[in-house]
Amino acid sequence: MARQLPIKEEQSSSIAFFLLFFYTASVLIRPHEMFQSSLEWTLIKVLAICCLIVTLASQRPLNVYPQHWMLFFLPPLIIISGFINGSGTFGVSQSNGFIATCLIPLFLFSNCISSIKRQHLIMIVCLTAALIIVHNGHTQQINLSWEGWALGTQAVNNFGSENRRITYLGFFNDPNDIGMFLVMNIPFAVYFFSKGKFVVKTIMLTVLLVLLYGVYITFSRGTTLGVVALIGAYYLVVKAGDKVFLAAILFSPIAIIILTVLQGNVDESANGRLEAWYAGILMLISYPLGIGKGAFFDHHGLTAHNSYILVAGELGVIGYSLWGGALIFTVVSGYLFIKRSASLDLSPEQEAELSINKTLFFSMVGFMITAFFLSRSYTVLLFIFIGMTLASHHRTVKLIPELKQHFNGSLAMKCMMYSWSIILVVYIALKLAL
């Protein structure tokens, strides 16, 4: 469970959430980047700093979860790894970037979203951003010059074909990032569809179709597989038992690698992906403390094309244990909340919170699936969604104390070990395939 700083009384700051709301919109919609006159504004940084100051000053309690502790240890580790590998200044720079892009959003979202109503507002911002991105992408599809209406955005070529891969502003300039974000928003659309009446259901069905269209025009194979796997994950969680679900999780990397090997017979990029994964594991074996954050490309000449392998290669045993432990603990807690609460007699308020928890669980599953094909270990999307999930976990445990045993430090330590099953399975599959 979370450690709470000493407080006089519980206080949920409206100003902090107000700033967080606009910070979320700025990160995901990026309105300041739509105009040449505001392109150089540091809007995101200003909102993040203001929100952090207000949160520290007025939000009570300030909760620090096991995921916070795991990830808080990464910045000094990144610096140490940089010095060990002869690039201390670069390590300090990478550490500062990790704090700004990852840790601050994680802390803000996990503390400021103190109610379902606030969670709904953030989910609506996410869906709105997704729709705007897809609309800009659609414009790129029909425009003869491949340009979108957002400033400077232009579709990119799909490996020499005539397919137009959509792009957007900021870190969404990569179609794969757009695809990941759209997949993580699919559970949000399904959630509002299930809760709404006819008008809301109609709107959300339209939103869901737009999201799927957006996934299609990213022309991202990993994202498409993410949609299919998300549907499969829903079936496993709702219908299957713990052992079947665990087996599916463990063997899915093997299935993915087999598909990639088969694809490699006709697609050179698939072979390059497998080689990058194997190179990352060799880095881990040769440099147990890691080669340093941001150094994978320098060592291999290509990115890892896998978020798990990227962290293992760059941050080594300790770094991957912390990063992977935080991710797996978040997902495992959400899963256990879903399964263990099924036998409880719940009030409407408790059921409402568990619905939010289930939705965020599937969003995190969406990340885990798409992250297997992308080097997005440190993307702000991951830490925003982990923060939202932690906030929901905290609210759930307050309402249903019986679930506290699935949200504590003991399980967090186990999840640090569980995270290595992904690397081990990938290694075994690669040895068989290459």
Q: Give the chain's domain count.
A: 3
Q: Which of residues 46, 64, 82 is at a domain's end?
A: 64
Q: What is the mean pLDDT of residues 418-424?
A: 90
Whether 189 contacts 204, CB under 8 Å: yes
Strand pairing report for 156-157 and 63-64: unpaired
Q: What is the mean pLDDT of residues 233-247?
A: 71
Q: What share of the chain is helix, strand, coil (3-state, %, to 5)?
A: 75, 5, 20
Task: Report how far residue 56's alpha carbon sits from residue 99's, in angstroms, rounded to the nearest whole number.
Answer: 16
The runs of H, that is alpha helices, within 175-289 are 175-195, 198-218, 221-239, 242-264, 268-286
74 and 155 together in one domain: no
82 and 173 together in one domain: no
Task: Report how far residue 217's alpha carbon sits from residue 87's, in angstroms, rounded to the nearest whole number.
Answer: 40
Give the chain's mean pLDDT.
Answer: 88
Task: Report how far residue 117's alpha carbon sits from residue 16's, in angstroms, rounded to the nearest whole number.
Answer: 15
261 and 186 together in one domain: no
Whole-number pLDDT of residue 305: 85
Token reading at 130: 């997704």
> In which region does residue 147 sit, left (phi positive, over 0), alpha (psi from -120 to 50) or beta (all else)?
beta
Task: Report how far residue 376's alpha carbon sits from residue 381's, in angstroms, rounded to the nearest whole number.
Answer: 9
For Cα atoms 39, 43, 44, give the angle at the middle one, nearest 5 degrees. 115
H or E segment at 345? none
| 122-171 tens-digit pLDDT | 999 999 999 999 999 999 999 989 999 999 999 998 766 678 999 999 99
119 and 259 together in one domain: no
Size of the chain in residues: 434
Boundaries of domain holding 24: 1-64
160 and 271 together in one domain: no
Whether 273 contacts 303, CB under 8 Å: no
106 and 122 together in one domain: no
427 and 317 together in one domain: yes
Backbone angles phi, psi at 312, to 5 degrees: -60, -40
Assign 3-class secondary structure to 8-40: CCCECCHHHHHHHHHHHHHHHCCHHHCCHHHCC
pTM of the entire predicted model: 0.92
94 and 13 together in one domain: no
* Mean pLDDT lowest among 75-89, 120-134, 345-359: 75-89
Confidence of residue 195 (pLDDT cuts 50, 70, 90): very high
Q: What is the mean pLDDT of residues 179-193?
A: 96
Q: Which of residues 218, 236, 263 is at a domain's end?
A: 218
416 and 273 together in one domain: yes
Whole-number pLDDT of residue 149: 95
- Where b means 16+ CB within 10 Å and e means fewer, 119-140 reads bbbbbebbbebbbbbbebbbbb
Whether 184 contacts 192, CB under 8 Å: no
31 and 179 together in one domain: no
200 and 150 together in one domain: yes
| 98-118 tens-digit pLDDT | 999 999 999 999 999 999 999
Q: Which residue has the tokens 């299957």?
A: 240
Q: Which of residues 218, 236, 270 is at a domain's end?
A: 218
H or E segment at 63? strand 63-64
16 and 48 together in one domain: yes
Whole-number pLDDT of residue 7: 42
